[in-house]
Amino acid sequence: MSHPHQLMTTEEVAERLGVKIPTLYAYVSRGQLTSIRNADGKGSLFARADVEAFEASRKRTTTPTIQTAITLIKDGQLYYRGRDAVVLATTEEFEAVSALLWTGDYDSAPFPINRDMLHLAHRATEPLPHSARLTDRLRVTVAAVAAADPLRFDTSPAAVVATGRQLMSTMVHALPLRAAPPGKPMPLVEALWYRLTPESPTTASLRALSAALVLLADHDIAASTLTARIAASTRAHPYAVVSAGLAALDGPLHGAASALAYPMLADAMIDPVATISHRLRAAPSSGAVAGFGHPLYPGGDPRATALFALLKGPAVETAEQLAATMRTRSGVLPNIDLALAALTLSYGMPADAGEAIFAVARTAGWLAHALEEYADRPLRYRPSGRYAGESPT
């Protein structure tokens, strides 16, 4: 209970700020907060307005705890809006899971193709060299179609969902074809298939690719997701949010990790023991091997287990042999990057296909997190740096 004249006691202020009383006195000694002596000479009082101003300044200059209702990682399992992601990977289409992430409800309506946007994306990506990665093309596509959308700054929930459906469809359909698709409407996973491999799709192969997209759609506050949320907190439009996520995803320790596991798995199909030995020697300080270990899943990555269960063939058998060797020697278990490498190798996809699958899938998650940020206070992220340079002269 506050005192007359809008004054608060030391105990009340400490409780409100969530700090101990000595910390509160430290704020006073630094001149960050002003106190007045109580009339009885015992303790201090604080003006409520000063406390509220100080509290607001702390929120502006610190990184807030992110409360999200999208993804939960608990007891070695992954959940989207309370649903087991492994179950969703084999029971729901990617479009429906995307809608679940965005709105909390399933909606398997197909993602529409905007012919004008698609034509623009083709024109923008056509000059890129043959060596350009698939994710390079995705980044150019997002930037190009953003510039052509005059309503891109509409961040209302319905607009963001509509933009997301159209953008993700354009991202996939703008990629170069590797095989001629049938002339009929098809789900996003099938459209992506024809842009990743010349092999004809089967029910099993499309199920595996769909599962990979679902399993990679979100993963709590990963590096790219945090980047996307920071962009959304500035009220950047959805295209810019996706561009921010794609930028962070480009690192070899994040979305591009499967591209490192791919050549390792290909080499291991010839000599698995020598391959592991070479990779361990190449990273002696950490002992890290691409495709193995995850700090959030000490008991094993459930996404990898789920995806491996949908695959078969030499690449999968080799991956299982590598996993057995690593488990025996160091107790490290495979992660989703190894499973993604096995998927892409099994179906004749290029080394960068895993990164493209990751990028398309995670776009759904970035937009879901953007929707949460748009509904929250803007500019929430402002960490303070600890200066370690030369003293001012």
pLDDT of residue 184: 87
Class of domain 71-255+352-374: mainly alpha
**Which of these, 244, 228, 263, lies nearest to 337 by C-alpha position?**
263
> pLDDT tens for residues 302-326?
999 999 999 999 999 999 999 998 8
Catalytic annotation on 219?
A: no
Distance (Å, whole) CA 184 – CA 326: 45
Q: What are phi and psi of 8, to 5 degrees?
A: -125, 145
User: Residues 218, 294, 301, 369: which is the catalytic one?
Assistant: 294
pLDDT of residue 3: 44
Distance (Å, whole) CA 66 – CA 203: 39
Is pLDDT above 50 for 61? no
pLDDT of residue 26: 75
Burial 249-271 (b: 16+ CB within 10 A, else e): bbeeebbbbbbbbbebbebbbee
β-pairing, 44-47 vs 36-37, is antiparallel
Q: Report residue 1's pLDDT band, with 50, 70 and 90 as the boundaries.
A: very low
pLDDT of residue 136: 97
Q: What is the mean pLDDT of the chain?
A: 90
Is pLDDT above 60 for 51? yes
Q: What is the CATH number of domain 4-61?
A: 1.10.1660.10
- Please report where in the chains the tokens 């409100």 appear, as a residue: 16
Distance (Å, whole) CA 223 – CA 316: 29
Catalytic annotation on 122?
A: no
> pLDDT tens for residues 155-196?
999 999 999 999 999 999 999 999 999 988 899 999 999 999
Distance (Å, whole) CA 259 – CA 337: 8
Q: Which of 211-220, 323-332, 356-365 has the weakest average pLDDT?
A: 323-332
Q: Greater confidence, 140 or 332? A: 140
Q: Concatenated DSSP letters for 121-165?
A: HHHHHTTS-TT--HHHHHHHHHHHHHHT-TTTT--SHHHHHHHHH
pLDDT of residue 282: 61
**Which of these, 142, 136, 128, lies nearest to 171 by C-alpha position?**
142
pTM, full prediction: 0.82
User: Residues 218, 301, 337, 352: which is the catalytic one?
Assistant: 337
15 contacts: CB under 8 Å, gap ≥ 6:
none
CB 167, CB 145: distance < 8 Å: yes
**Which of these, 101, 78, 65, lies nearest to 361 by C-alpha position?**
101
First to last CA, the chain: 48
160 contacts: CB under 8 Å, gap ≥ 6:
102, 154, 238, 367, 370, 371, 374
pLDDT of residue 355: 96
The CATH H-level superfamily of 257-345 is: Cytochrome P450-Terp, domain 2 (1.10.230.10)
| For the chain, domain boundaries | 4-61, 71-255+352-374, 257-345
Distance (Å, whole) CA 269 – CA 258: 16
